Copies of this chain bind each other. A is one copy, B any other.
Amino acid sequence: MTQRNDPTSGASPRYGRRPTMKDVAHRAGVGLKTVSRVVNGEPGVLPDTEQRVREAITALGFRRNDSARTLRKGRTATVGLVLEDLADPFYGPLSRAVEEAARGHGALLLAGSSDEDPVREQELTLALCARRVDGLVIVPASDDHRYLEPEIAAGVATVFVDRPAGLLDADTVLTDNLAGAKEATAHLIAHGHRRIGFVGDQPQIHTTTERLRGYREAMAAADLPVRAEWTALGTTDPGRVEHALRAMLAGPDPVTALFTGNNRVTATAARLLAGHPRPTALVGFDDLELGELLDPPLTVVAQDAALLGRTAAELLFNRLAGGAAAPRRVVLPAGLIPRGSGELPPHS
């Protein structure tokens, strides 16, 4: 005896099979379409009839199957979100902002982490497309997004956040990483530092290279050389970062200040410097909770992750509503928040 076709159970709700509009219609003694009308609040149903239908609905525990609805209507009221890591606190406010915007438009959020892996990004994104999300918000991990062309052509509103799309012209929301990194580096220079290290995330990440460029330009603008051993890029694995930091802080000519390229690196650097004998100035990209309570208080270049998400969602829903304008690119500012850790004087 299968669960789904138990002939003994009649019209009452059977375990494992959900009641459908047909069941409700049968029980209420009305037509299928009338149930649909009641469920969707459409006019043209007498109060009486509606009452009977509602009773049948609650009696059976009916709930509309939105998969079927979706199939029929062509819109899923779902937004896909692809980012690096759901667990990274930086993306929390971003996700939440996208979620809020989605909710405002009656949509839900399908989210996933790429783990900075291009293959995983593509698999995930295409899985979202297969589910026919109405729109996509992507923090890209790959540098070639041509695989999305058919999807975009088919009407999937797509917005890239935090990093630009690769080989594709699409709506994009970025932070001004270059300016932020320049400001951070200039801040350290202004406080007398000449040997400044930069420890960043992996080099294929756009934000990493922009921040590195900002660092380099600020150094160049102050006529300061940048030695090869002063820059280290790689994963944000604490072990890797610690190793890189120790290398810069050791030797006869150690750096006297550090500019760290994202929140993970900054956290590791703060931990290491706290136990380091020589006071070393530090400016981080991205703010950290409680950063202002460290000793010295942490100076950072802060971006507004929630605003990033909100703006992306705005572009997305604009596109869904408006049609096919030219892709837009929005650049949001990042601002230095001087708190002290960037103002330590260079040690000899």
Contacts and interface: CB of A to CB of B under 8 A. Distances in A.
Interface of A: 13, 15-18, 61, 63-68, 70-71, 76, 78, 85-89, 91-93, 95-96, 99, 103, 108-113, 126-132, 149-151, 153-155, 267, 270-271, 274, 288-295, 306
B132 A65 contact: yes
Residue of A88, A89, A293 with most partner-chain B CB within 10 A: A293
A150 B70 CA distance: 22
A279 B123 CA distance: 53
Given A87-B93, A126-B63, A16 B290 contact: no
Contacts of A70: 67
Contacts of A274: 293
Contacts of A295: 293, 295
A322 to B, nearest CB: 14
A294 B289 contact: no
A254 to B, nearest CB: 21
A96 B92 contact: no
A95 B111 CA distance: 10
B89 A289 contact: yes
A89 B89 contact: yes
Nearest to A156: B18
A292 B271 contact: yes
B110 A86 contact: no
Contacts of A67: 67, 70-71, 76, 131-132
Contacts of A129: 63
A71 B66 CA distance: 9
